[in-house]
Amino acid sequence: MNLRHYRADVLMLITALIWGSTFVAQRLGMDHIGPFLYTGLRFLLGAVTVMPLIWLLRKPAKPDTPARLSKPMLLGSIALGAVLTLGINLQQIGLMFTTVTNSGFITGLYVILVPVFGLFIGMRTHRGTWAGAVMALVGMVLLSVTAEFTVAPGDWLQLVGACFWAVHVLLVGALASRYDPILVSFIQFLVCAVVSLSLALVFEPISFAAIHDALPAILYGGILAVGVAFTLQVVAQKDAITSHAAIILSLEAVFAALAGWLIRPSFPDKTLGDLVERYLGEKLPEADPTQLVPETEGATPGQLAWFVARVGTAIRDDIPSPLARVLDEIELPTLDTLADMELAGVAVSHDHLSAFSTELATRADAIAADAFAAIGREVNLGSPKQLQEVLFDDLQLPKTRKTKTGYSTDAAVLADLQESNPHPFLDLLLQHREATKLRQIIESLDAGIQDDGRIHTTYVQTGSQTGRLSSTDPNLQNIPVRTEESRRIRAAFEVGTGFETLLTADYSQIEMRIMAHLSGDPGLIEAFRSGEDLHRFVGARVFGVDPAEVSPAMRTKVKAMSYGLVYGLSAFGLSKQLRIEQSEAKQLMSEYFARFGAVRDYLRSSVEQARIDGFTETIFGRRRPFPDLTSPNRVLRENAERAALNAPIQGSAADIMKLALFRIHDELRSEGLASRVLLQIHDELVVEVAPGEWDAAERIVRERMGDAADLSVPLDVQIGHGRDWNGAAH
């Protein structure tokens, strides 16, 4: 959910912070007086607080609102008050026999129950309510991690109370959308006060001295929590059935995490406790997980709300204005889109993946048998120790890079070894590893298919230092790109039921286009503006021939050179990649820079500027710190220099993709289309297109990707479509 889109949720942010802290006030109040008396007094005070608003706001909330006081409205509000009385008093009584932490956990459950009950009775619930349920579930998981739970007798009362609270939220949404929400609040508060005070007179001792001691909690709970926060909730729900404190509290925590990551992408704070310690210099209360009966309880929901609010303010004060723009204009809008993408998921064929996995298993077994025959015995092909014996003792191959456990047997090292000292066993070993790795990827994808036949991956927005998205459970980013096997895996990702086709879209040579823009190199800019093949154009300049005379080998060298520069590739690295002599690689780089000198100047100056500033910056202001640029350790310094070359380019590409992503998502929704964005993998978007919507979806994708950034060269968008991801390739 995006706060910018829903006016109601701005009010919910206020109620969340107030209601979050009332758990503490409730507990303090009931240290002096009984739960019925405390509830009755604070709701009576809430009704008195609301009363002036009834006379001040005489005009109905909507032109079609019925009369301010009618029989259906009065009966509905009384019923609402009765449900409220049951829910709040069960919660109050339960709170006396449990911990505040448990109470917060069960309150999260009530947020989850709201859309579930609404679905059960056929009531239309706002999408924010479902998002609230998801956020509340996350909050409950976080609470379970940070606090040790033991079931208490009061939990069962609070659980029943949570059910009444969920019903209450649905009734509020129904009444507030038809009648004056402030008058509805007044009547339900009055009903709750009268019933609760009557119960107090029967079941609880009344002491004016005790009431005096509880007066601060009563005033806080009555005026601020009930009179202000509760009324704001009802007013907000005249627009939509919106979830309660858990979603806003969760969104505030997400905001804090995103902002903290933008400030320190290399070392992001992982928990609220990390943020509290860094920005407030305080310690978040935590129960000792090793104690059966902790000496101190963890943070209560009220304390969590207080810490979240203060951390958010502290980060806002600390975040530089360029990063604040990235947060507000890129990351937070992207958050809404990713939530919808995760909920939508993508249809994946179990049968297709299962058949491919079986085929790979058969292939791996056959390769292993051939490998054993090549060395005359069986070994564990996954054991580095046994492989070292075979490679360096039995076969007497040259020893590779030294490691703590002997010599390296990783895939890249063995590929180099096979290139310089070919052997049948080495070739078979590499084939076996590739088949095994693919099978593991396929099995993780297959395990991720849920009951609806779709994979719902989790996108990690703070998972990289450059701003790129990553994904987990399962990881879709590790699917191989542009290989025969990757095409077979992608063929399992299919268009879902009720949709017509998949649309795939990506940028052509986006990093090189960003390089041309940042460097201002006239040659590169001319290449992109002319619309010619980039690598053929550059190859013609470098080798001094006509574009038509650029051979495939020349084009390959120039392509490796161009992209290698973006990633800080040295002459040695280029020579290894192209399998050429290092002297030839140096000559190739010299010729390249002779024709495209502005590229060389930009790369040099960007590293030197980062050394001065301590960070690099993208086109849009995203920063990445590089403290090791001034390190006395040569290895650390050179690694930082190579990363600093790439950071502005790769970070700008990530920003452009995110801008395109959420703008496409928002425009599909604003035009009322059923088509939806499903995946963002590497630099590619996958959209599920509904019947009859291809022209509109294709136009939106092409336009929003094309105008995502104003560069000195055009952004070229490539689009394809098909019944599966592989068939939609372009």
Say how far apart CA 724 and CA 486 lie, in whole Å.
Answer: 13
Q: How far is CA 62 from CA 5, 58, 75, 340, in A?
A: 20, 12, 21, 31
Predicted confidence at residue 23, as pLDDT, reads 53
- pLDDT, tens digit, for every residue of 604-629? 899 999 999 999 999 999 999 999 99
Q: How many angstroms separate the CA atoms of 289 and 247, rounded?
A: 26
The number of CA neighbours under 13 Å toward the Cβ of 555 is: 12
pLDDT less than 70: residues of the chain: 1-31, 53-69, 91-159, 161-179, 224-225, 227-261, 263-264, 266-270, 289, 291-292, 294-295
Task: Tell me what pLDDT residue 370 has.
Answer: 92
Residue 334, pLDDT score:
92
Residue 124: per-residue pLDDT: 42
Collect all residues with Cβ–Cβ distance below 8 Å to 668 and sequence separation of at least 6: 675, 676, 677, 687, 697, 700
Buried b (16+ CB within 10 A) or exposed e, 238-250: bbbbbbbbbbbbb
CB 526 within 8 A of CB 710: no
| CB contact set of 380 (below 8 Å; sequence gap of 6+) | 386
636, 648 contact by CB (below 8 A): no
Q: How far apart are CA 696 and CA 678, in angstroms?
A: 17
| Residue 553: partners with Cβ closer than 8 Å, 6 or more residues away | none
Angle (CA) 523-525-530 rounded to 5° is: 95
Residue 504: what pLDDT?
95
pLDDT of residue 261: 66
Q: 494 has which bridge partners? A: 347, 724
The gap from C-alpha 367 to its chain's centroid, in whole angstroms, comes to: 40
CA distance 515 to 565: 10
Strands (E), 369-500: 402-403, 406-407, 454-455, 458-460, 470-472, 493-494
- Specify whether the CB–CB gap between 493 and 678 falls below 8 A: no
Check residue 84 and give its pLDDT. 74
- What pLDDT score does 239 carry? 45
CA 443 – CA 326 distance, rounded (Å): 37
* Token output for 127: 């999408």
Q: CA-CA distance, 438 to 2, in Å (whole number)?
A: 38
Alpha carbon dihedral 257, 260, 261, 265, in 10-degree steps, equals: -160
Q: Residue 564 is encoded by which pair of tokens?
A: 């290698």
* 420 Cα distance to chain centroid: 44
**For residue 427, which of 345, 371, 483 has the smallest C-alpha distance?**
371
Give the tens place of pLDDT for each residue, 466-489: 888 989 889 898 888 777 888 899
Residue 453 has a pLDDT of: 94
Question: Pick from 431, 419, 473, 415: which is nearest to 449 by CA?
Answer: 473
| pLDDT value at residue 188 | 80
Specify the 3-state DSSP secondary structure of 719.
strand
In angstroms, rounded to a whole number, what is the distance separating the alpha carbons of residues 391 and 566? Answer: 36
Angle at 84 between CA 114 and CA 213, to 5 degrees: 125
CB atoms within 10 A of CB 151: 9
Single out the residue of 121, 195, 115, 113 nearest to residue 158, CA to CA: 113
676 membership: H or E segment, kind and range: strand 676-681
